[in-house]
Copies of this chain bind each other. A is one copy, B any other.
């Protein structure tokens, strides 16, 4: 495996298995001089933690993070930042079911075929638990963005067929309900729907929207490292993501050019767009509007309901996956999409610094 590093200049290297000794992340390329504490990181980890909402798994995940390097006297030093969370809950348990067959919708089969065997305990490396490392790395990225006045927020816009009503959109509501939905009514309906899912030993998916405010114009590197291209990769690298849209996304294909184009307008000493169908990205570069990304999260594959599958002896069997499972992972993924967005943007902000000789001269003649 050689895919555990994300980013070019601001890099995040994650490691760790669901039920191994620990999980962690090494952040290389973080500038010096940024205040960083373990509490900063813990806050987002707690938002991600299954225990933090009603519909997460009941397993106790400690997720207590430690900073092992790269911070001195409360500030980043410019050297790699190593963050670690030990797995508290490692008692031996019965993995015979999961180790011997291929769970539908999971990576058991592909892992076995690629590597010859797998660490089957709790899903090993393909567990959602791996995203703990991403969220920790994302906090560092967000701290950098904060210094530049850039903010990122993700929230849930649908669970199954229940969608938020844009007319009732209330950003304050996001932190008040465990599904991170910006519409109280939608949350309540989704809540009932998820209760139904649990009763039916089934699960649900949903859609997350991520908004970035305060972007400078010109972030993104044509033609392959476009802002949308790198965000697309970032989002699809999250386990259950099956679709990504920027701005109007698939809907734009139903519009005419005249309807879809955003007109430029000059007012009050500033150029802006009269609409934002583009989702804040033109030609792969930020255009100064809000970045808007939507991400499709498939329904949790782990369900109690009886399914058909194959075991290691190539026998067709029925399987009822045991244990406690999230009926929906969308709220956990909300925090992960924020993290991946932040990491992606910081990386491209660095690349933009040397796009123009005037920038370089300006800095070196400082």
Bound complex: CA A237 to CA B355 (Å) = 19
> Do B226 and A260 have beta carbons less than 8 Å apart?
no
Contact assessment for B263 and A82 in the assembled complex, using a CB-CB cutoff below 8 Å: no
A144 near B: Cβ within 8 Å?
Answer: yes
Instruction: Known contacts A309-B264, A316-B266; decide if A29 and B354 are in contact (CB<8 Å).
Output: yes
A360 within 8 A of B: yes
The answer to whether B356 and A114 have CB atoms under 8 Å apart is yes
Q: Quick check: A15 and B256 within 8 Å, CB to CB?
A: no
A264 to B112, CA, bound (A): 14
Complex interface residues of chain A between 246 and 292 (CB less than 8 A to chain B): 246-250, 252-266, 271, 274, 278-279, 282-287
**Nearest Cβ distance between residue A238 and chain B, in whole angstroms?**
9
Q: Which residues of B sit under 8 angstroms from A314, Cβ to Cβ?
A: 266, 271
Q: Which of B72, B232, B249, B356 contacts A78 (CB 8 A)?
A: B356
Asked if A116 contacts B356 (CB within 8 A), the reply is yes
* CB-based nearest B residue for A104: B261
Whether A4 is near chain B, meaning CB under 8 Å from some CB there, is yes
Is A171 among interface residues, defined by CB-CB distance under 8 A? no
Residues on the B chain within 8 Å of A206, using CB = 253
Bitwise interface map of A from 1 to 35 toward B, beta carbon under 8 Å scored 1, else 0 = 11111101111011111001111101011111110
Would B249 and A117 count as touching, CB distance under 8 A?
Answer: no
Interface string of A218-258 (1 = CB under 8 A from B): 10111111101111111111010111111111101111111
Kindly state the separation between the CA atoms of A116 and B114 in the bound complex, as whole angstroms: 28
Q: Roughly how many angstroms separate A249 CA and B315 CA in the complex, as a whole number?
A: 30
Complex: how many Å from CA A363 to CA B302? 34
Q: Which of A49-57, A119-127, A179-187 sits within the interface?
A: A119-127
Inter-subunit contact B308/A265 (CB<8 Å):
yes
Interface residues of A in 195-226 (CB under 8 A from B): 197, 200, 202-207, 216-218, 220-226
Please name the 4 residue pairs, one residue from A and one from B, whose CB atoms are nearest each other, closest first. Answer: A107-B283, A3-B221, A3-B225, A114-B218
State whether A237 and B266 are in contact (beta carbons under 8 Å apart), knowing that A68-B16, A258-B305, A300-B257 are contacts in the complex.
Answer: no
How far does the alpha carbon of A35 sit from the alpha carbon of B104 in the complex, in Å?
30
Point out the residue from B203, B356, B363 that lies within 8 Å of A32, measured CB to CB: B356
Residues of B near A265 (CB, < 8 A) are: 308, 310, 316
List, sorted by A's number, 8 A–B pairs whose CB atoms are closer than 8 Å: A2-B221, A3-B284, A29-B354, A113-B217, A114-B355, A115-B356, A242-B249, A359-B363
Beyond A33-B358, A115-B355, A228-B236, whether A250 also contacts B255 by CB under 8 A is no
A26 lies within 8 A of B32 (CB): no
Whether A257 and B110, one on each chain, are in contact in the complex, defined by CB atoms closer than 8 angstroms, is: no
Of B70, B105, B284, the residue contacting A261 (CB under 8 A) is B105
A331 located at the interface, meaning its Cβ lies under 8 Å from any Cβ of chain B in the complex: no
In contact, A250 and B242 (Cβ under 8 angstroms): yes
Assess whether A94 is interfacial by the CB under 8 Å rule.
no
- Residue A166 interfacial (CB < 8 Å): no
Q: How far is the CB of A300 from chain B (nearest CB, A)?
A: 5
The smallest beta-carbon distance between A77 and chain B, in angstroms, is: 5
Q: Is B205 a contact of A252 with CB atoms below 8 Å?
A: yes
